[in-house]
A and B are shown apart, each in its own frame.
Chain A
Amino acid sequence: QKEVEQNSGPLSVPEGAIASLNCTYSDRGSQSFFWYRQYSGKSPELIMSIYSNGDKEDGRFTAQLNKASQYVSLLIRDSQPSDSATYLCAVNKEDDYKLSFGAGTTVTVRA
């Protein structure tokens, strides 16, 4: 079993819709959870971090964490063409310097 798994894309959504991205992780000791956005040919950039159960909102982005279910998600509201990118879920354990990444979900927002 992979440490971090994401729903396989690609995900195509119309402009203005909600894009929903899912991520599960295998290690119950995981403490920190991140979503990175990566445009084609560019390096990943951090867009959200979440550390405790529940929702965290930042502009049009909402991260949701459920440690009991070992599940973290990212919602993109009012999707824009500029949101078209690959989204990477990353997880690390307490006192572990390493991040484990999922394979990524590619999102395409149709104008």
Chain B
Amino acid sequence: DVKVTQSSRYLVKRTGEKVFLECVQDMDHENMFWYRQDPGLGLRLIYFSYDVKMKEKGDIPEGYSVSREKKERFSLILESASTNQTSMYLCASSPTGVTEAFFGQGTRLTVV
């Protein structure tokens, strides 16, 4: 089974903190993605990566950055957390080619 693991299930952070969300996949997938999910808005793509050290902006990259130093690990960084970044964050991975994505269990982040 494909395993995508996010480092935390729940996080509470203060406004202005630098926040790291970690994601690891064990299936040697080339592509990795970070989404956020908000009620009524569905899943929105923040950043994605199709190879080590490669990254591309998604639909809502503002306020976020990413790092992919190893193939299996994709990190999302909130440079200075704000309350409007309170959300469910979902990491996903997929192999090369047109195919489905597999999701981690999600991290519910609350910024106070």
Contacts and interface: CB of A to CB of B under 8 A. Distances in A.
Interface centre among B40, B43, B94, B99 (most CB of A within 10 A): B43
Interface residues of A, number: 24
Given A43-B90, A88-B42, A88-B43, A98 B58 contact: yes
Interface in B36-82: 40-43, 45, 48, 50, 58
B31 interface: yes
Contacts, number: 50
A103 B103 contact: no
A4 B101 CA distance: 17
Most chain B CB within 10 A, of A34, A88, A92, A101, is at A101
A97 B31 contact: yes
B105 interface: yes
Interface residues of B, number: 23
B99 A32 contact: yes
A46 B102 CA distance: 8
Contacts of A104: 42
Interface in B84-112: 90, 92, 94, 98-106
Interface string A23-43: 000000001101000000011
